[in-house]
Amino acid sequence: MNVFVLVLSLVLCSSAAGIQHHVYPIILETRSTASKLVLRINDKITLNLEKSEVLAEELHFVTATTERHEVETVNTSSIEENIYHDSTERSSLMLHRKYGTLYVEGIVNRKLRIKPVPEGERSAQGHMLHSLYEVQERGENLPIVNTYANNYRRPQGQVQSPYWRWRPTATHPGRYPAFHATTSTASTMTARRTVHTFVVELHIISDEEHNRNFRSKDELIGYLAVMVNAITLRYLEMEMPSITFKIVGVTMSRADIFASHILGTIEAYETLNKLEKYYREGNIPGNPDVVFLITNRDMSTVRGGSLDKDIAGLANVAGVCTTHRVAMGEDIAPSFDGAFAMAHEIGHSLGARHDPRGSGECAWRRGFLMSYEDGGPNKYRLSECSMDAIRTNTEKLPGGCLSESAARMHYIVKSSVMPGQKISASYYCSLIMKRTLIEKRIRSDVSPQTPLELTKQCKMKCCYSVNHQTWCRKVDLLDGMECEEESTCRKGVCMVHKWAEK
């Protein structure tokens, strides 16, 4: 067997940002298979890299414009064959050759990153120059004058509140009235039976504002894979059936004909209706279990004659595998901010309703995934009531829904790359607050505040200053972000986590 050992020849240099190394990666063929690489940086850092598997092997990719839909089948092995991870160091690297030249890019560990320097001087052997550098964390201790609490959407992904559009015939708190037999819903499909596993196949539509943040379809697919990886963690406790997710299709929309625009936002209810029509008209290839719209725009609804932006997601309860299989949620690309909204809305699609407003183990106030309350670690998992509702719905689904469509099922079963490993706290805060600053016409730097009493709770503050005052918004740390020395956040818990073993 052959092992590929990636040896880095180091040239030390200094810069204003701190110490960085210029390296010339060379792959040496020795023992082992191509699925494993040993990246030896120095005597203290050795990465044992393995290939990552995160996508369906055959994926439908749609480029949608006003004139036409171009559908292509993307063999994701061309993406996955270049992606490696180290489960111990939480490294995520892309290695590929272009015109015979090796490119290495990504995360070496929590602090070190590597990227090609195409404009740099080649080595004597013609190898590409790379920069190995330490990430600088900005932690300015600004005084807290006020707490930013107005005119921002709640951090949780929200479906329509039952108080907004509640009707006696509705499936609480779903968007539609209880479905009748003619709609071919879960309640009328088949007799109940025990289901052990359910791989939920997703087709994700990235709207025009969202996908403009990515330079290529490969970048978009990779970003969505990390998002789905994050939502998978919210369903780890689910049993009988176990729930996992697989991306089987992606639409890169260049003309959002399914969107209903109003004053710079998209109206949620009308957009969900049009999205359902968009699906029924055959614009989504294959037969995914759920079609999810991820949008970079503000969602809104009209209440009492006023535009209300306090909504971040919408879904049809028990819509999975029916004609009502659509859902939607906000995201601020490339911040991975929409992971909770996606997990919450897909929970509705699978049959879970909001947790009850009472007492007991499933109480709304305990803050599980299907509540808007912040229950700390509870927010990263389903309540027993939600799991029971999903089981009941899943047991009635037809066999065609529960069987996987792809010939080979490469879905995310290991959290090899998490959002917090891909983005710094400073950059995350700048993305989260960008919309607020634009709306308020404020020019200000945004910085994170990470006092230990907050990071221990997997939270931090994103702050900006205006008129000699500092305004802050408390946000959750992303899964994979560092909260204490040698510790990271996972499902709201700060401790030492080994992601790939979960």
pTM of the model: 0.64
277 belongs to a structural domain: yes
489-493 long-range Cβ contacts below 8 angstroms, 24+ apart: 489/420, 489/458, 490/233, 490/380, 490/418, 491/233, 491/234, 491/377, 491/379, 491/380, 491/381, 492/376, 492/377, 492/378, 492/379, 492/380, 492/457, 492/458, 493/377, 493/380, 493/458
The domain boundary residue, chosen from 115, 134, 153: 134
67 belongs to a structural domain = no
271 vs 300: CA distance, rounded Å: 10
Q: What does the pLDDT read at residue 142? A: 25
Query: Is residue 70 one of the residues assigned to a domain?
Result: no
Give the residue-averaged pLDDT of 69-87. 74
Alpha helices in 183-303 (DSSP H): 208-211, 217-233, 268-280
Do 95 and 168 reside in the same domain of the chain? no
Whether 375 contacts 382, CB under 8 Å: no
| In a domain? residue 120 | yes
For the chain, what is the mean pLDDT? 75
Mean pLDDT of 409-419: 55
Q: How far is CA 35 from CA 57, 80, 219, 277, 414, in A?
A: 16, 11, 22, 43, 16
Residue 365 and residue 402 share a domain: yes
Residue 87 predicted with pLDDT over 70: no
State residue 157's pLDDT score: 35
Domain residue limits at 191: 162-413
Residue 344 annotated as part of some ligand binding site: yes
Of the candidates 348, 383, 413, which is a domain's last residue?
413
> What pLDDT band is residue 117 in, cutting at 50, 70 and 90?
confident
Say if residue 259 is in the same domain as residue 276.
Answer: yes
Region 143-154 average pLDDT: 26
Q: What is the CATH number of the domain that holds 317?
A: 3.40.390.10
Max mean pLDDT among 10-24, 37-51, 417-431 falls in: 417-431
| Domain co-membership, 373 together with 432 | no
Q: Which helix (H) or strand (E) holds 384?
A: helix 384-394
* Helices and strands in the chain, H and E counts: 11, 27
Does the annotation flag 172 for ligand binding? no
Answer for the pair 292, 247: CB distance below 8 angstroms, yes or no.
no
Can you read off the two tokens belonging to residue 131? 């920069």
Confidence of residue 111 (pLDDT cuts 50, 70, 90): low
DSSP 3-state of 235: coil
Domain assignment present for residue 387? The answer is yes
pLDDT of the residue at 230: 64
> Do residues 303 and 357 both lie within one domain?
yes
Write out pLDDT tens, residues 329-376.
998 887 667 878 898 999 999 999 999 988 889 999 999 999 988 887
Do the Cβ atoms of 389 and 383 come closer than 8 Å?
no
354 labeled part of a ligand binding site = yes
In a domain? residue 157: no
Q: Where residue 1 falls among pLDDT bands split at 50, 70, 90?
A: very low
What are the catalytic residues? 345
H or E stretch at 39: strand 36-40
**Per-residue pLDDT band at 174 (split at 50, 70, 90):** very low
pLDDT of 24 above 50: yes
pLDDT of 499 reads 67
Instruction: Check whether residue 462 and residue 401 sit in a common domain.
Output: no
Residues 270 and 392 grouped into a single domain? yes
Structure tokens at 185: 């819903």
Query: Quick check: is 156 in a domain?
Result: no
Residue 445 CA: distances (Å) to CA of 144, 288, 453? 15, 42, 24
Q: Give the span between the Cα atoms of 450 and 469, in whole angstroms.
A: 19
Identify whether residues 96 and 181 lie together within a single domain. no
Q: Are residues 33 and 88 in the same domain?
A: yes
Neighbour tally for 47: CB within 10 Å: 19
Distance between CA atoms of 385 and 407, rounded to whole angstroms?
Answer: 34
How many folded domains does the chain comprise? 3
Q: At what angle do helices 217-233 and 339-349 cross, to 10 degrees?
A: 70
Q: What is the pLDDT of residue 131?
A: 81
Task: Judge whether 199 lies within some domain.
Answer: yes
Q: Are residues 427 and 484 in the same domain?
A: yes
Domain shared by 398 and 359, yes or no: yes
Verify that 187 and 106 share a domain, yes or no. no
The CB density around residue 463, as the number of other CB atoms within 10 Å, is: 26
pLDDT at 19 over 90: no
**Which among 488, 272, 219, 241 has a CA at the least distance from the CA of 389?**
241
pLDDT at 107 over 60: no
Final residue in a domain of this structure, among 116, 134, 152: 134
**What confidence score (pLDDT) does residue 173 get?**
32
Q: Which carries the bigger pLDDT value, residue 406 or residue 269?
A: 269
Rounded Cα gap, residues 355 and 361, in angstroms: 10
